Structure 1
Amino acid sequence: MRDLYTQVPNENTQLRRFGSDVFVNRSVSAAVNTPLDVPLGPDYIVGAGDALIINLWGGVTQSITRTVDRDGSIFLLDAGSIQIAGLSLGKAQDLIGSKLKQQFRNAQVSVTISRLRSVRVYVVGDVQQPGGYDISALATPLSALYAAGGPTSVGSLRTLLHYRAKQLVEKIDLYDFLLHGIRNGSAPFESGDTLLVPPAGKQVAIFGAIKRPAIYELKAEETTLASVVEDAGGFTAAASLNHIRIERIDAHSQRVTVTLSDHDTQSLESAGGVIDNFKVEDGDRIRIEPILPYSQQAIYLAGHVVRPGRLPYSDGMRLSDVLRSYQDMLPEPAAHGELVRLVPPDLHAETIDFNVPDVMIGNANIDLRPFDTIRIFGRYEIDAPKVTIRGEVLRPGTYPMSKGMTAAGLVRMAGGFKRDALLENADLTSYKVSNGNHLVEDLSTVKIGAAVAGADTQADVPLKPGDILAIHQITSWNDMGESISISGQVRFPGSYGFTDGEHLSSVLRRAGGLLSTAYPIGAVFTRVQVRELEQKSREELIRQIETNSAAARLSPSLAGSNAGGELQLIKAQQEQVLSDLKNHAPTGRMVIHINADIDSWANTPADIELRRGDKLMIPKRPGFVLVTGQVYNVTALTYAPDKTAGWYLSRAGGTNATANRKEIFIIRANGSVVGRHSGGWFDTDVLSTKLNPGDVVVVPQKILGGSLFWKTLLSSGQLAASVAVTAAVAAAAL
């Protein structure tokens, strides 16, 4: 069917005028300056500007160079002035020889041209760049036209007119040169000559099964289709001479389609006679139809075969003539095959099933017809039986099930076990259909290690289509290589491995304990899982702040004439909080309570169990307290014993006008937070809290807007962004 449908023609044929490519990428200097690379014959007409070489030998040997002057003469010392312009080169040589022989006894003379003169020729009419051009005296009309850029889209290539004054010297047809290599235009140019390019005459387009599809210009005597075909190089081997169609313009009013011949029984000789006698007209578009792109006597072989493609058909051909043996097929063909037949008269497709093994033994043979397609399938193309292996093998996945496949064979097909595979047993899940309407699952255990090793012949089990084999992992394999990074004020900082269930105190002892300069209260302990939870919580907080509308945040008491300005302030505050949240990544810090005496807190709730990726940083005693937020001077103040947060705040200049004094909070060096209600419902004086080195006093910004939900959102954002500051303070104390 693919071959049948390829006969649809492509009507988007882009035709160009024949000969137009000659003038593309032209070089004016090459067209104007014709090199003197061939000897000039005796018929060359000498003119003013030609340079002559006069060779004299006999009584005297001499070589003389002379240039013909404007008067058409040359001057020789012993012979005087000799008029030679307008003479042929042969006659000029005879004249010069006769003059010199009077002066020299037995003198022999030869005259050659060493440099050609230039002539000015005017190229006018329908050309790209009309004007005057200085060209060589030997230049042809094609050279002059080439220098002028060639004809325009309406300029003629068949009738070029060479004028000398008012006299027509010659008509030139460039098709003689372009098609046959014949250079007509024998009349040489003289200065002042004109080359006129008139508008093109009749033009026809020919395309299809033709050697040179293009638009051709016709002369008056070339009016038959045969002459157009000859100009286009003739028909291709695939041309159908009985199917030639012409689109013609009828009396400047409409287009009509003329069929040259549409009789399939017509002989080629008769078709040729019609072509010779058929008259073409200006504007005709001639399409030479190709023969049918498919063979009427062919069948097709496709699918799981060694040599797919088109095969010749002969009368009485049968299916066994194409499928002679299994050597004609690829390995593991399916038993099912199809014969797709195009049934006349409309050639609709019908499928005939056949059994491949029956055809091989001759029990099922089918008579073939033209256009039959024989399709052979692979075994795994038709509802192929498959099994699946999962877990700890090199290439887990679904595999085609071969005959007699076992669990051990499936493991080998999957590349074998990984190093972490549990070889003791594996789970095998099988499925079967019960009563034809529901699926029943059966789970069994396979001693897979023994089966693959071959140590127990009873351990291996055969597989059924759809089985799933799961290879488990050795217990705690993923915990192998767990470590914690310890840095800062310990005796032996570095990365330490730990066993499953080991606690922080044990690793700190192996690290040599804390140094005397250590500040365990400010220890920063981070965990990957905590950081991931913080990140999710922060992303949700950012989403809520971004999606909450500004209008909903505006307090009803502020919704007056200054509502627009108030909304701008709320928007600016929102962007500031969002910026702080996005610029301070979550640390994953956990609050721990340890001191230099490891024995005092070992094996207590403070002695946390370690996890992969944990990090512990023990800083030095910072010696300062940081005051940040809405204060007049954000600064770090030297630590003073037994001083309260209010004392430090006053040393930082106190709060500014935008501060929310009711929500001042303290972030301890260990990461815990002391807020307005931290000491109890009635204990609201945070500023009376005594501070330790490394603590941070945070004065948040007053939240604009009247919505309680909005204030809670921004307060949470301010707190989340400020917690990251304590980790930076501890890092600065290393």
Structure 2
Amino acid sequence: MLFGMAEASAATPTPQQLEQFKKLPKAQQEALAKQYGIDLSTLNKKTKKGSDASNVDEISVFPRKEEALSEEDKLEEKFKPKVQELKPFGYDLFAGEPMSFMPSEISAIPDSYIVGRGDEFQINLYGKENQLYDVEVDREGRLAIPDLSPVLVAGLSFSEVKELITAKISQEIIGVKAFVSLGRLRSMRVMVLGEVFKPGAYTVSSLSSLSHALFIAGGISEIGSLRNIQLKRAGQTITTLDYYDLLIHGDNRNDVMLKPGDVVFVPAVGKQVSISGLVKRPAIFELKQNETAEDLIKMAGGFKAEAFPQKTIVERYSNNSFKTVLTLDFTQKPLDYSPQDGDAVNVQASSKELENAVTLMGAVSHPGNYAWQKGDKISTLISSLKTDVLPIADFDYSLIIREKNIRGEIEVLQFSLVDVLSHVDKDLILQPRDVVIVFSRFEEKVDEKRVLSKMAFTEDEIALQDKVELWQEYENRKFQEYIGIFEEKEELKEKDVDSLTQLLKGEKEELKEEEYSLFSRRALLKPVILKLQQQASSGDEAQLLAINGKVRYPGVYPLVKNAHFAKALAAAGGLLESAYLEKAEVTRLSQDSAEKVEHITFNIESALQNQNDQKYQLKSKDSINIFAVPNWQEEVSVQLIGEVQFPGTYSIKRGETLESVLARAGGFTEFSAPEGAIFTRESIRVKERAQLKKLSDDLRREIASRSFQNSVTDSSLSYDDTNKLLDDLAKVEALGRLVIDVNDIYNGSQTLELENGDALYIPAVQNTVSVIGEVNLATSHLFNKEMTLEAYIAASGGYKQRADEERIYIIKANGSVQLPNESSWFSVNSGTYLAPGDTIVVPLDAEHMDKLTLWSTATQIIYQLGLAAAAISAL
């Protein structure tokens, strides 16, 4: 065995063994190192230094090997909740795995070092003679220098030996001087016993101290004492080492040098007291009998700034097998508390609630907590709209969230930044713990970014914007803590507030949460609304209102103090251009009966001018509806594309017809083919999209049903054909085509009233007939009135194997569908059915698809929409 019969944890490989180890292949080196628990990288570093047999090893301690965990234990450790566990103080310093028992000799030798038997001196003679001698102190304590008489040096200090040798050489060899240094030091054997990791006898250097003895033994065990480490010599206790002096105060006066035969003894640990919580060094400390609670606090590094030592909790085991709890004031002088073994001291934290402070958050330049003094107003926090708020701030709608009682219930006050800075009487007085929120005038993040990007910011201003957003995310979290609402709690998701949210059920939420502006009403009001819902009770209705209709941001809002109709409009972002000012309606639930509903109508302009009138004051659960101006219509436009005299986009009035727009466009060009016109409408496109989805879902269900009904060997259902059809359905885009006869409309025979987004495509004259579907070559042919339907199909290579010859149909240029004469499919010889621009469709035989009832419908839709899309793209 390479490292002999000694155990890996207690044997030191000799230089010869190291050289032999280096010659082994790398794989064998790794296997051997793993077997003996050796750090290969550290061992390589050691061998690279070229140490010879006379040198001692530099590495004395490696980290302790951890016990291998079973797979079950590893799984338990992975999912086990991590709990911060207090550890005994100071034990980690010594924890290690003994690997070598000799310290490095490259360190300087102190002049006080006592020379003994086995020490080697290097004597360098220079002058008329130049010699270098390595001389070892013999067993008699003498140093025999060649050509000189022996010198007794054992028991002398290193400095005394240097002076003695230098003087002797100067006297006995004239013209020669000497330089004296120590080479290899002697080794000695000591015992390390008691509560250490690896007790036993160790060979150490003569420079070893008491601390080094503990290191080479792997440190002190968990039940060993750090404060009563004894050095015994010849049966007598020479000194006692308290390692807390070294670890806490850096005092190593009692860390004395060892001598041969010394015994280092570590007794069991004494009284232990744990201290946790808001101290700088939480741990389990060992106390001596005379040490007090003040000493314990010093060992723990003192209290942290956020500590509240006035209510420190002490848990203690009493003699009657029960645990008792003491509540002590650790700021008292003197402290009436004597630590006992097993006490657990926990220093509580101070309250995180702000005292005499207010919080500013939202679209402001400098959000955060600010000191409050009696008499402070909003203008104290925001003195300028140019410097104190962001360019995106809403100047007309801001809130103060205020606690109204000891339960933490809130009330909401509303103000306008413009009014506050313009009128002294509207500058609200702040109270401690108020939260002032300034909203953005944008709800969508995209709109907000677009406005900011157009402004000329300096680099510092851009950095400030980024910092404000990061701080706001933090403030949003603190705000949720302030009012006791956390969005991630499922039980606190938005609940219906009687009729309020019922008013909004018809509106779909199109934006995702991350698409809302950071300072939007939705983002900042959500926890406020949830809090107002929570604190509502019998006799104390939820302080909320709803506003719908022609306002910028309809929704549910907090009912503020002295709520007026004008404040509700400001909360909703103001009126839209289409708002009807002559009439607004408030729906109010009776406080006596929930079934009694009152509808109140009033003039908006009058309400805005008489803000002190009580009839315009709002109540809990009021629902405001702002109507649109009668017959109000936003800009409505249609498109004319293709062969008209003046194609383009035309604005229309309500009720205008296609005939009039065609007349405004100058009519058709000489190259137009009105019979092939394509007319699209958005409302029809929406219906087609829904129909396509339903058809695709129905077809998938029918295919799945058929596949379960058929046997495994039934191959009538082609997977490739089925998959192709489903893929085609998924790719089809709904066009919203309405089949019309443009010539009849243009001539006044028919009337088509237009809608916003309508589009008319007029193609050029076509002289082709197309053949698609289950033919060998789907292509287009020049129109020939002498050719029959069968002739066109023959010109396209004839039918494929799965063509359905009995269900051939023709898609006319205007989008209508015609079937050939029922008495004979191919008796057409005069072109009765065919005209330029027509398309002959040869569908797939549904029999090959296991008689799927939806197959023909699906293929017809694919062909028809595909043809229309191709015609539009050709314009």
Whether TM exceeds 0.5 here: the answer is yes
* 1:716 Cα deviation from its structure 2 partner: 1.0
1:413-432 mapped onto 2 (5 Å cutoff): 414-432=572-590
Q: Which residue identity is paired with 2:603?
A: K
Preserved CA contact (<8 Å) 1:502 1:609: yes
One-letter amino acid matched to 1:92: V
What SS class does the counterpart of residue 168 from structure 2 fall into? helix
Provide the residue aligned with 2:112 in structure 1. Answer: 42
1:589 aligns with 2:709: no
**Partner SS, residue 660 of structure 2:** helix
Match for 1:526: what amino acid?
Answer: T
Aligned mates of 1:127, 1:242 — CA distance in 2: 31
Partner of 1:646: helix, strand, or coil? helix
Q: Are 2:657 and 1:503 equivalent residues in the alignment?
A: yes
Which aligned pairs between 1:79-90 and structure 2 lie closer than 5 A? Answer: 87-90=156-159
Q: Quote the offset at 1:547 in angstroms.
A: 2.4
2:676 aligned to which of 518, 522, 536: 522
For 1:214 and 1:459, the matched residues in 2 are separated by 67
Q: Map 1:687-706 onto structure 2 (within 5 A).
A: 690-704=833-847
Q: How far apart, CA to CA, are the structure 1 residues paired with 2:666 and 2:800? A: 48
Deviation at 1:533, TM superposition (A): 0.5
- C-alpha contact (below 8 Å) 1:216/1:228 kept by paired residues: no
Alignment of 1:401-480 (within 5 A): 407=565, 410-411=568-569, 414-432=572-590, 439-453=595-609, 461-463=615-617, 465=619, 467-477=622-632, 479-480=633-634
Match of 1:720 among 833, 858, 861: 861
Instruction: Check the 8 A contact 1:244/1:288 in 2, yes or no.
Output: yes
Give the SS at the match of 1:566.
coil
Q: How far apart, CA to CA, are the structure 2 residues paired with 1:65 and 1:668?
A: 119
**5+ long unaligned stretches in structure 2:** 1-81, 303-308, 351-401, 410-428, 435-534
Q: Give how far 1:74 is off.
A: 9.5
Deviations 1:613-646 (A, max 9, x none): 1223333345443322222223333443443322
Which residue of structure 1 lines up, in the alignment, with residue 93 of structure 2? 22
Once the two structures are superposed, the pairs formed by residues 278-677 of structure 1 within 5 Å of their partners are 286-288=342-344, 304=404, 382-383=540-541, 388-396=546-554, 397-398=556-557, 400=559, 407=565, 410-411=568-569, 414-432=572-590, 439-453=595-609, 461-463=615-617, 465=619, 467-477=622-632, 479-548=633-702, 550=704, 563-566=711-714, 569=717, 573-594=721-742, 601-602=745-746, 604=748, 606-675=750-819
1:547 aligns to what SS in structure 2? helix
Q: Is the 8 A contact 2:273 2:344 kept in 1?
A: yes
2:774/2:802 contact within 8 Å kept: yes
Assess if the C-alpha contact under 8 Å between 1:163 and 1:169 holds in 2: yes
Q: What is the distance in 2 between the residues matched to 1:261 and 1:481?
A: 77
Map of 2:164 onto structure 1: 95
1:207 aligns with 2:274: yes
Query: Whole-Å Cα distance in 1 between the matches of residues 191 and 837 of structure 2?
Result: 96
Aligned to 1:6: none
Residues of 2 paired with 1:159 and 1:329: CA distance? Answer: 55
User: How far apart, CA to CA, are the structure 1 residues paired with 2:432 and 2:758?
Assistant: 61
Shift in Å, 1:530? 0.8
Letter matched to residue 628 of structure 2: Q
| Seq. identity, % | 24
CA contact (8 A) 1:116 1:136 kept: no
1:92 counterpart SS class? helix
Residues 605/132 of structure 1: CA separation in 2 closer, same or farther (3 Å cut): farther
How far off its partner does 1:430 sit?
A: 4.7
Give the deviation of 1:672 after TM superposition: 1.5
Deviations 1:28-68 (A, max 9, x none): 99x9558757x8233453875666899x9xxx9x9x99785
> CA offset at residue 480 of structure 1?
2.3
2:316 — aligned with what? 244
Superposition CA RMSD, Å:
6.2
Does the 8 Å CA contact 2:86/2:282 hold for their aligned counterparts? yes
- Please list the CA deviations of residues 431-453 of structure 1 after superposition, one character each: whole Å capped at 9, or x if unmatched: 546xx557444445423224435
Q: What is the aligned partner in structure 2 of residue 283 from structure 1?
A: none
Task: Name whichever of 535-544 and 122-131 sits farther off.
Answer: 122-131
Task: Indicate conservation of the 8 Å contact 2:638/2:651, yes or no.
Answer: yes
The aligned residue for residue 453 of structure 2 is: none
1:362 matched to which residue of 2?
none
Residues 1:631 and 1:12: Cα distance change in structure 2 (over 3 Å): closer
Following superposition, the deviation at residue 650 of structure 1 comes to 0.7
Higher strand proportion: 1
Q: Following TM superposition, by how much is the alpha carbon of 1:498 offset from its aligned partner in structure 2, in angstroms?
A: 1.9
Q: Which secondary structure state, in structure 2, belongs to the residue aligned with residue 497 of structure 1?
A: strand
Letter in structure 2 aligned against 1:480: E
Q: Secondary structure at the match of 2:724?
A: helix
Q: Deviations over 1:546-581 (max 9, x none)?
A: 2236555899xxx7xxx3233662655443332221
Q: Secondary structure, in 3 states, of the residue corresponding to 1:532?
A: helix
Distance 2:742 2:838 in 1: 16
CA distance in structure 2 between the aligned counterparts of 1:715 and 1:227, rounded to whole angstroms: 94
SS of the residue corresponding to residue 806 of structure 2 reads helix
Quote the residue 2:512 is aligned against: none
Higher mean alpha-carbon deviation, 619-628 vs 146-155, is at 146-155
1:729 partnered with 2:801: no
Greater shift, 146-155 or 225-234, is seen at: 225-234
Q: Which moved more, 1:96-105 or 1:85-94?
A: 96-105
SS of the counterpart of 1:612?
Answer: coil
Specify the SS of the correspondent of 1:393: coil
- Mind listing any 5+ residue stretches in structure 1 that lack a counterpart? 1-10, 248-255, 281-285, 295-301, 310-325, 332-376
What displacement does 1:692 show?
Answer: 3.1
The one-letter amino acid paired with 1:507 is V
| Residue 233 of structure 1, CA deviation | 7.3
TM-score by length of 2: 0.53
- Aligned pair count? 601
Given that 2:192 and 2:214 are in contact with CA atoms closer than 8 Å, whether structure 1 keeps it comes out as: no
CA distance in 1, matches of 2:767, 2:263: 103
The separation in 2 between residues aligned to 1:145 and 1:25, in whole angstroms, is: 10
Corresponding letter in the other structure for 1:42? S
Listed one character per residue, the Cα deviations across residues 644-669 of structure 1 (whole Å, up to 9, x for unaligned) are: 32211111111122111112222223
> Per-residue displacement from partner, 1:287-333 (whole Å, max 9, x unpaired)?
44779999xxxxxxx95259999xxxxxxxxxxxxxxxx999999xx
- Structure 1 pair 658/593, CA: closer, same or farther in 2 (3 Å)? same
Q: Check conservation: 1:486, 1:615, Cα contact below 8 A.
A: yes
Greater relative contact order: 1 or 2 (C-alpha under 8 angstroms, separation 6 or more)?
A: 1
The structure that has the greater radius of gyration is 1
Q: 1:653 to 1:65 in 2, by over 3 A?
A: farther
CA contact (8 A) 2:585 2:626 kept: yes
| Contact 1:78 1:100 survives alignment (8 Å) | no
- Name the CA distance, whole Å, in 2 between partners of 1:390 and 1:207: 62
Q: Measure, in 2, the Cα distance between the counterparts of 1:240 and 1:399.
A: 42
- What is the CA–CA distance in structure 1 between the aligned matches of 2:623 and 2:324, rounded to whole Å? 71
Q: Any idea what SS the aligned residue of 1:662 has?
A: coil
One-letter amino acid matched to 1:304: K
| Separation of aligned partners in 2, 1:407 and 1:232 | 61
Cα distance in 2 between the residues matched to 1:489 and 1:700: 32
Taking a change above 3 Å as real, the CA distance of residues 447 and 179 of structure 1, as seen in their structure-2 partners, is: closer
**2:317–2:323: 8 Å Cα contact kept in structure 1?**
yes
Deviation at 1:532, TM superposition (A): 0.6
**1:246-280 deviations in Å (ceiling 9; x for gaps):** 79xxxxxxxx9477999x9xxx99x98996xxxx8
Secondary structure at 1:582 match in 2 = helix
